[in-house]
Structure 1
Amino acid sequence: MRDAYIIGAGQTPFGAMPEESYRSLFTAAYEEAADSVPDGFDDADVDEAVVGSLGVGGRQLGLSGPAATEHAGLHGIPSSRVENACAASGYAVRQAVQAVKSGMADVALGGGVELMTDMSSDVTKYWLGVSGETEWERLTGTTFSGVYAQMASAYMDEYEATPEHLSMVAVKNHENGAKNPKAHLGFECSLEDAVDAPVVADPLNLYHCCPTSDGAAAVLVASEDVVSEYTDDPIRVAGVGAASERVGLFQRDTYTAISSSETAAESAYDQADIEPAELDFAEVHDCFAIAELLAYEDLGFCDRGEAPQLLEEGRTELGGDLPVNASGGLKSKGHPIGATGAGQIAEAFKQLSGKAGDRQVEDANVGLTHNVGGSGGGAVVHILEREVAR
């Protein structure tokens, strides 16, 4: 198989954008991705496109891929939609990479879009809930905050973790998000703020939960045969791993790990031929604060039960051994479901290109992105590396 490279990536701001549509948001993300290609890019260069979206609110559930890409000016190409809950656009980028590696495309577009803030909270909860196990979770009233609260409770029972550790995740990610002009909640918060916030689903409070956001992201992937036409400083897709798990939390062997994340990471590390210790930064799926702690362990950053210690030691802060969620993560940057995974890759592209501004990770050469669907029913991990000029 051929090597695949990220040659451009872009995203809209994440937040409440009532004046936008899913078409306009996707077009804006694609145009930024095209503009970020160092040596220029033409719409006609795209051979295939894959768009990730849950379709919140029932917007154009059929043919939403072509609806978005045709509006962006990408005419006549194969265009399809991927739905894998919150991991939709992570999988969309994975499919773009597969198209390039297989030889079916020289340049493929993977991205995602979601519009979530123009509905009532009850309607939004319904659309979030469709990604949970239907019969025994969603239809019995369980929310995603309730599912992750169960995971948090189990984790704190099993290991030396407290609600304050959850709040430390929020403080770190808000500090990073305050440096990101595209973050939905781009402000800092104190530990006291994060500890004393109103309870959402005990032990999770408001500061332990990400917002629902509008937004889009797009990633351009090129083959080794054509990458030199676009850049002399390519970002290689060194490894991709994906896996599934039982959708319902009650169906699993443990509440304190997400096996799909672990399996996806193992596959990505094996493909990239690296160890977790070789990473320079990571963007992980912190839809709830407990999800970031689980990710530290599922992705091999530390042993089981050691995530709180990793956090306490500051090792995942900007300037630490392994900065995690320099973008602000889902907690501060925001979580437009269908756009989140591609947005993580857009952030990694910025970091590896040295263009992340005040949140730039020093000497960033290898990065990981981790995108989870629902409470772990699906997960996808990308490992990207900066190559020296050819």
Structure 2
Amino acid sequence: MRDAYLIGAGQSDFGAFPDESYRSLFRTAFEEMVESVPDGISRDDIDEAYIGMVSIGGRQIGLPGPAVTEHVGLDGIPCVRLENACAASGYSIRQAIQAVRSGMADVALAGGTEVMNDLGRDRARYWLGVSGEMEWERMAGTTFSGVFAQMASAHMNEYGTTREQLSHVAVKSHEHGAKNPHAHLGYECSLEDAESAPTIAAPLGLYHCCPMSDGAASVLIASEDVVDDYTDDPIRVAGAGASSGGIGLFERDSYTSIPATKQAAESAYEEAGMAPEDLDFAEVHDCFSIAEVIAYEDLGFCEPGEGGAFAESGETRLGGDLPVNTSGGLKSKGHPIGATGASQMVEVFEQLSGHAGDRQVEDATVGLAHNIGGSGGAATVHILEKEGSA
């Protein structure tokens, strides 16, 4: 198969935008993406499109992919919408990579868009719930915060992880997000702020939970045959992994690990010929602070049970050995479900291109993006490398 390269990426601001639609948000992301391609690109060069969207609130459940590609002037190209809960655009990226590697496309677009803040609280809870296990969890009244609270409690009971260690994750994420002009919650918080915030689902407090966001993101994947037409500084997709698993906690052997993440990471590391110690930074799925702690362990950044201490150590901050979620992550940057995976790739592109501004990781050459759906029923892991850096 041919090598695939990341040649451009862009996103809208994330937040609450009552005057925006899923189409207009995607247009903003698309235009920023086009402008980011170093040597420029024409709409006519794009062969395929894959759009992640959960259609929160029931808007445009059928054909939302063509609805946004037509809106940005990509008339006539093959387009499909992917829905894999919060991993929707992580999987759209996977499909774009596969299309390019297989020879079906020379340039493929992958992205996502979501509007979430025009719903009342009860409707929002319902539509978020469709991404979880419906029959035995959601219909019984369990929320996503409740599911991740169970995971946090299990991690604390099994390993001695503390609530304060979860708060260190939140403090770090806001520290990074305050440097990201696109972030929904672009401000810093103190450890005291995180520790004293109202409880959402014990032991998780307000600062341990991500916001519901409106927003969009998109990226361009190109083949080795054409990449030189678009950039002299290529970023190669070194490894791509994906997996799925039980969508309900009761279907798993453990509440303290997400098997789909471990399996996707194993595939990505193997394909890349790399290990966790080869990474310069990572974007991981932190819908709740405990999710980031578990991701540290499942992705091999530390041993099982050591994620809390790893968060507290400061190594995941900018300037640490492995900065995590330099974008602010879902916690601070925001979480428009269908766009989240693609927005992680936007951060990878900016870091490896040296355009991350105050968030820049020094001498960054290898980055990882990790995206999960629901509480771990689906996962993607992508490893990207600035070519010529090995």
Task: Give the TM-score range, shorter chain.
Answer: over 0.9
Structure 1 residue 215 corresponds to structure 2 residue 215:
yes
Q: Kindly provide the amino acid, as one letter, of the partner of residue 34 in structure 1.
A: V
Structure 1 residue 318 corresponds to structure 2 residue 293:
no
Cα distance in 1, alignment partners of residues 322 and 271 from structure 2? 21
Alpha-carbon deviation of 1:373?
A: 0.1
Alpha-carbon deviation of 1:233?
A: 0.2
Segment of structure 1 superposing worse, 341-350 or 26-35: 26-35
Cα distance in 1, alignment partners of residues 224 and 236 from structure 2? 9
Alpha-carbon deviation of 1:333?
A: 0.2
Q: Kindly provide the amino acid, as one letter, of the partner of residue 125 in structure 1.
A: R
CA offset digits 1:32-76 (Å, max 9, x no partner): 111100001100100000000101011111111000101010010
CA offset digits 1:345-379 (Å, max 9, x no partner): 00100000000000101110000000000000000
Aligned to 1:26: 26
Aligned to 2:72: 72
Once the two structures are superposed, the pairs formed by residues 158-173 of structure 1 within 5 Å of their partners are 158-173=158-173
Aligned to 1:308: 308
Cα distance in 2, alignment partners of residues 63 and 212 from structure 1? 23
Aligned to 1:224: 224
Alpha-carbon deviation of 1:250?
A: 1.0
Q: CA RMSD in A?
A: 0.7
Aligned to 1:279: 279
Alpha-carbon deviation of 1:261?
A: 0.4
Aligned to 1:334: 334
Q: Kindly provide the amino acid, as one letter, of the partner of residue 9 in structure 1.
A: A
Equivalent position SS for 1:136: helix
CA offset digits 1:8-39 (Å, max 9, x no partner): 00000100111111111111111111110000
Aligned to 1:265: 265
Q: Kindly provide the amino acid, as one letter, of the partner of residue 276 in structure 2.
A: P
Cα distance in 2, alignment partners of residues 32 and 264 from structure 1? 29
Q: Kindly provide the amino acid, as one letter, of the partner of residue 22 in structure 1.
A: Y
Segment of structure 1 superposing worse, 328-337 or 116-125: 116-125
Once the two structures are superposed, the pairs formed by residues 145-156 of structure 1 within 5 Å of their partners are 145-156=145-156
Aligned to 2:183: 183
Alpha-carbon deviation of 1:312?
A: 2.0
Once the two structures are superposed, the pairs formed by residues 37-76 of structure 1 within 5 Å of their partners are 37-76=37-76
Q: Kindly provide the amino acid, as one letter, of the partner of residue 231 in structure 1.
A: T
Do 2:39 and 2:229's aligned partners in 1 also have CA atoms closer than 8 Å? yes
Q: Kindly provide the amino acid, as one letter, of the partner of residue 217 in structure 1.
A: A
Alpha-carbon deviation of 1:255?
A: 0.1
Equivalent position SS for 1:362: coil
Question: What's the TM-score, normalizing by structure 2?
Answer: 0.99
Structure 1 residue 360 corresponds to structure 2 residue 363:
no
Cα distance in 2, alignment partners of residues 73 and 309 from structure 1? 49
Question: What's the TM-score, normalizing by structure 1?
Answer: 0.99
Cα distance in 2, alignment partners of residues 70 and 98 from structure 1? 23
4+ aligned runs moved over 6 Å, structure 1: none
Cα distance in 2, alignment partners of residues 89 and 250 from structure 1? 26
Alpha-carbon deviation of 1:102?
A: 0.3
Q: Which runs of 5+ in 2 are unaligned?
A: none
Aligned to 1:388: 388
Cα distance in 2, alignment partners of residues 80 and 251 from structure 1? 30
Alpha-carbon deviation of 1:251?
A: 1.2
Aligned length: 389
Aligned to 1:199: 199
Aligned to 2:132: 132
Cα distance in 2, alignment partners of residues 68 and 58 from structure 1? 16
Using the aligned pairs only, state the percent identity. 70
Do 2:166 and 2:290's aligned partners in 1 also have CA atoms closer than 8 Å? yes
Cα distance in 2, alignment partners of residues 98 and 116 from structure 1? 30
Q: Kindly provide the amino acid, as one letter, of the partner of residue 16 in structure 1.
A: A
Once the two structures are superposed, the pairs formed by residues 282-297 of structure 1 within 5 Å of their partners are 282-297=282-297
Aligned to 1:9: 9
Cα distance in 1, alignment partners of residues 15 and 145 from structure 2? 20
Cα distance in 2, alignment partners of residues 307 and 119 from structure 1? 35
Equivalent position SS for 2:173: helix
Q: Which runs of 5+ in 1 are unaligned?
A: none
